[in-house]
Amino acid sequence: MEDIIKVSALGGLDENGRDCYVIEINNDIFVIDAGLALPDKTIPGVDYLLANAQYLINNKDRVKAYIMTHAHDENMGALKYFYDDAPAPIICTRFTKHVIETQFNFNTLRIPLEFKVIPPTSALEIAGRKLHFFQTSHNAAYSFGVAIETSKGNIVYTSDFIVDYSVKTPAYIFDMKALSVLSERPTFLLMSESKGANHEGYCSPHHRVTPLIEKYFSNANKRIFIDCFWQNFFRISEIIDLCIENNKKIFFYNDFTRTIMKMLMEFNPSRIPMDMIVSKEDLLRVREQELVILMLGKGEELYQELIRVVDGTNEDKRIRLTKRDIFINAGLPTPTLETIATRSIDYLYRTGAEVVWIKKNQITAMHPRQDDLKFFLSVLKPRYYLPVRGNFINLMANAKLALSMGIGLNHTNVFILDNGMQLCFNELGRPSILPNNPAIMPTHPILVDGSGVSTNVAENIVNDRRQLSVDGVVVIAVTVSLEEKRIVAGPDCQMRGFVYVKEAEPLLKSVANIFVDEVTTALSVNNTNFEEIKANAQERIRRFIKRENGREPMIIPIIVTR
């Protein structure tokens, strides 16, 4: 019997992060990645944006596996928020499993996580269907792509990869032999990431930080302080290799860094001789010119810690940047972090230390460029092609590249989708595209507030926060006697965030008068519907302030009764 196939995305299309792809074969669902994204400044008070898993929860009996291709938040970070409601085996490598266990707070999970641990190149049968995994070269250790067998051929998801022939460490090798074996069977649909599709050539060797910083390790007679995002395992490995080659001692900046490095050493993507590691007690006993201090962090927290080091408010007061130090920034900011990153570098320059700030045009992220993508396309020669992972401009560049290859891909078998749209193949293998139906497959992001404390952040709450951050707030209160039908205290009016104090007094009086008028008028006709009174006052005050100074602050009227 021929398989009926549906492919869709709950996140990851026309955006960076939130990657979550749903492969439906007959009645079975295979989920590839379940990620989160970081918010930008237009979403105040939100920590993460999650892939919306409601479709998976509604169809939890059909979910056969979660395939976690590598240990990055944008690929696996959302899983812990909905696993209780739609559990299924998690297929991943031993390293990715350990990262998941390190990150996930098991006290919040009612159902224990069920893992199926595999080598990065291997095969596994799930729900009677063969899945083939092949290791890819990415900055997450032991990452892999996956091929799912169907009656029409393989559905191949590349995950993140680059073509790199010079990798030293087994954790980051691209297994081209495994990919060659896959090419012996027809590839029905290839899903390939698109983040670097606008750039010509290969990614390698432009992803390496070593050529940019090795001179500071080999020639410097100063202490080296270097930072890096904790999930950029490849870059951490480069730093460790430079320390080994130049006989440097290495000190892990804080407990978070020590936890991550312990994990890396346990799984050996970063080999570190134990005599290189400086303990807390020996920090001041090592000669400065022999010492490298490594700081790892996540997101905005990394840059906040840099500011604390400069201010002297960091936990270990022995670590202070001085003019005798070199500071190397190996944690390149994402677009959502550029503001605080710029602020932190300004702080660093105040110390007099030699600051090495690597620019984005000097190094590239480990995502496939055009020649990397051509390599995959030419080896697998898919019947259909679906660019994934990236903004629309990246998806289009990937699609145009495929059309130019001359391998039978054209406008009838290369697809650009949006989140929630379904690419369907019937028994004959003929494709069709179903538009998104939010009632069936909602794809709006789930907003996480308070570092994971609550996922119940409504859009109106975000709009209120946005309004507060731009236009400020007006709070006005009165106390009313229900028996006497009059105001017995107030009004008390406070304004914050939209008008100078010296200019506030006339505005305060006018706003207070409007509120008093609304309350007094209502009481005079025995109207005690205070919600209605507050709504009317709110609208009058809003129109008045808009007319006076063009702003629209949040207005909070309060009526206390006695």
Do you know the residue count of the chain?
562
User: Which of 457, 502, 493, 449 is closest to 473 using CA atoms?
Assistant: 493
- The answer on pLDDT for 370 being more than 90 is yes
Distance CA 216, CA 208 (A): 15
Q: What's the mean pLDDT when you consider all of the chain? A: 86
pLDDT tens, residue by residue, 317-356: 888 888 888 999 888 887 777 888 888 888 888 888 899 9
Please report the pLDDT score of residue 465 as a whole number: 57
Q: How far apart are the first and last CA of the chain?
A: 76
pLDDT (mean) for 133-148: 94
- The answer on pLDDT for 469 being more than 60 is no
The string over 108-147, giving b where at least 16 C-beta atoms fall within 10 Å of a residue's C-beta and e elsewhere, is eeeeebebeebebbbebebbebebbbbbbbbbbbbbbbbb
Kindly indicate the confidence band of residue 452, based on its pLDDT and cuts at 50, 70 and 90: very low
- The answer on pLDDT for 453 being more than 50 is no
Where residue 303 falls (left for φ over 0; alpha for ψ -120 to 50; beta otherwise) is alpha
Please report the pLDDT score of residue 12 as a whole number: 92
Distance CA 399, CA 397 (A): 5
Kindly indicate the confidence band of residue 503, based on its pLDDT and cuts at 50, 70 and 90: low
- The answer on pLDDT for 268 being more than 70 is no
Query: How many secondary structure helices (H) and strands (E) does the chain include?
Result: 15, 26
Domains, the chain, with CATH or none: 5-202+365-448 (3.60.15.10), 210-357 (3.40.50.10710), 461-561 (3.10.20.580)
Residues in contact with 419: Cβ distance below 8 Å, sequence separation at least 6, in sequence order: 9, 10, 11, 12, 13, 14, 15, 436, 443
Please report the pLDDT score of residue 129 as a whole number: 94
pLDDT tens, residue by residue, 167-190: 878 888 999 899 999 999 999 999
The pTM assigned to this predicted structure is 0.79
Distance CA 398, CA 404 (A): 10
Of 466 and 508, the one with more pLDDT? 508
